[in-house]
């Protein structure tokens, strides 16, 4: 059965797929820079996905580059960002999706409902 996590940004009008894609690209760049500092390809391990989008779909997909990571689906539903782990997702996908959700929640100043139903409230600092 598919599992979902939800991000609810405070500023709902700022939600769009392009902003989410830009943040994921930024995340990948951060991981690549960390790898440069450590002198190994950390970026490939920290972000083992290719971003795939279809023009007719209101969602985009993170397709895994190896057998440990298969797929994460990201879209917008009911003024929230929804991150879906389809049935074929692995434990690696779930761990990486949790990590990406926390990164997005921090950058979007969003409350996050994790896959297990627990909620991480964004602090108002």
pLDDT digits (tens, 9 = 90+) for 46-92: 899 999 998 888 899 999 999 999 999 999 988 899 999 999 999 99
Is residue 101 situated within a structural domain?
yes
CATH of the domain at 45: 3.30.310.120
Stated as kind and residue range, the H or E segment containing 71 is strand 69-77
Contact 110, 20 (CB under 8 A): no
Measured distance CA(87)–CA(118) in Å, rounded = 21
Is residue 49 situated within a structural domain?
yes
Which structural domain range is residue 97 located in?
3-120
Contact 22, 98 (CB under 8 A): no
| CA quadruple 103, 106, 109, 112: dihedral sign | positive
Using alpha carbons, select from 15, 31, 32, 36 the residue that is nearest to residue 100: 31
Per the structure, how many domains does the chain have?
Answer: 1
Is residue 125 situated within a structural domain?
no
HEC sequence for 45-70: HHCCEEEEECCCCCEEEEEEEECCEE
pTM of the predicted structure, to 2 decimals:
0.90
Chain centroid offset of residue 113 CA: 13
**91-105, pLDDT tens digit by residue?**
999 999 999 999 999
Band (pLDDT 50/70/90 cuts) for residue 14 is low
Measured distance CA(18)–CA(12) in Å, rounded = 14
Measured distance CA(63)–CA(13) in Å, rounded = 28
């Amino acid at each position: 059965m598919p599992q979902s996590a939800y991000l609810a940004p405070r500023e709902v009008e700022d939600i769009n797929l392009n902003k989410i894609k830009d943040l994921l690209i930024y995340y990948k760049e951060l991981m690549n820079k960390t790898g440069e500092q450590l002198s190994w390809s950390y970026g490939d391990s920290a972000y083992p996905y290719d971003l795939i989008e279809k023009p007719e779909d209101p969602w985009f997909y993170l397709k895994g580059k190896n057998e440990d990571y298969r797929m994460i689906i990201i879209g917008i539903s009911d003024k929230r960002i929804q991150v879906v782990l389809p049935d074929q997702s692995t434990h690696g996908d779930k761990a990486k999706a949790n990590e990406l959700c926390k990164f997005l929640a921090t950058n979007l100043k969003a409350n996050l409902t994790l896959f297990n139903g627990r909620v991480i409230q964004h602090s108002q600092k």
